[in-house]
Amino acid sequence: MSQCDTGRWPRWDSPGAAGWAAPALEAAAAHATTIDTAALLVVAGGRVVWSHGRVADRFNIHSIRKSILSALIGIHEAEGRIDLEASMAKLGIDDKLGLGDREKLATVLDLLCARSGIYHPSGYESPWMLSIKPARHSAGPGTVWCYNNWDFNALGTIFRQATGADIFADFQARIAQPTGMEDFRPETDGAYLDLPDSVHPAYPFRMSARDLARFGQLFLEDGCHGGRRLLPEGWVEASTLPVSDAGHNGAYGYMWWVARQGVFYPHVRVPDGTYAARGAGGHVVLVLPALDAVIVHRVDTDQPGRAVTGAQFGRLLRLILKAAPVPVRPPAFR
């Protein structure tokens, strides 16, 4: 069994002490060596059950950045700085080619749910994202779900404009430091990436698996850490509702992927109530309330060509879940 540097995370004496089966986890570890997995971390009951690979190394988290921004938006919405019902027109949000009057009717909430109907050129997009992007002006605000980087990047601009805060410094102050993250450094692990076709930059993060597990644990505990509420009451629940059907990917909430009747990844049925932050190349923070668990999967996507597909991760997750205790009904939100 791998014993990686999980830092200040408390650890169960053995997987069996947490109700997980060590032989099944060994089988999952063996399978992980056959694909481009760089790190795996399983946390249950707030303690490490099992770790494998480079859990302390910081990699680009890709689109997991969006779930992080969603959490920060929730904090500032509760404090009165961000209005989810404010339109792009009211906020003065535009772009290089100009937004039309109908596009400017889209609200912050529409963007948060990836339902803006704004298909202006963006950037920092995967080939899949480009392939599913509809024609410009083909849908009205709130009517169609599309995983669209214009929405996500524009929300970064809206956040900075409304709060006056830097995304990375605010994450450090509001979430990373209070939850005890060990590796994230806002001055080196976050950057704004200017894009040629849009005025709204991307905001990539670099984080370790053991720090991302703390982000997942914060959501598992309904936005609380150590008895202190860090996220507004009700925000976790609202963020992880299945607002939009996402086909074989399950469903989508407020920049979180949500399982729909067990549908989430190929080759595996996940417990009810499961949701995740996902990044291109196989980066996943999977939250399983039915198991009181968080699973983090990382890939060294700094190396060209390295990736774990959804189907590959689904097979790996199936092996990991064979080690898990029988799921229980997800706990009610506090």
Q: What integer pLDDT is reported at residue 149 of this predicted model?
A: 97
Beta bridge partners of 313: none
Q: Mean pLDDT lowest for which of 6-10, 25-29, 50-54? A: 6-10
pLDDT of 329 > 60? The answer is no
pLDDT of 88 > 70? The answer is yes
Those residues whose C-beta lies under 8 Å from the C-beta of residue 227, and which sit 6 or more positions away, are none
Identify the DSSP state of 134: P
Greatest alpha-carbon span in the chain: 60
Average pLDDT, the chain: 96
Between CA 261 and CA 252 the distance in angstroms is 13
Q: What integer pLDDT is reported at residue 328 of this predicted model?
A: 60
Average pLDDT over residues 213-224: 98
Chain CA centroid to CA 175, Å: 14
pLDDT of 312 > 90? The answer is yes
Pick the CATH number of 60-207 from 3.40.50.300, 3.90.1570.10, 3.40.50.150, 3.40.710.10: 3.40.710.10
Between CA 121 and CA 117 the distance in angstroms is 12
Of all helices (H) and strands (E), which one includes residue 186? Answer: helix 186-189
Question: 154-177 in b/e burial notation, b at 16+ Cβ within 10 A?
Answer: bbbbbbbebbebbbbebbbebbbe
pLDDT of 273 > 90? The answer is yes
pLDDT of 254 > 90? The answer is yes
pLDDT of 225 > 70? The answer is yes
pTM of the model: 0.96
Question: 13-46 in b/e burial notation, b at 16+ Cβ within 10 A?
Answer: eebeebbbeeebbbebbebbeebbbbbbbbbbee
pLDDT of 79 > 70? The answer is yes
Average pLDDT over residues 231-239: 98
Beta bridge partners of 193: 202
pLDDT of 2 > 70? The answer is no
pLDDT of 33 > 80? The answer is yes
Which sequence spans correspond to the domains of the chain?
1-57+255-334, 60-207
Between CA 13 and CA 230 the distance in angstroms is 29
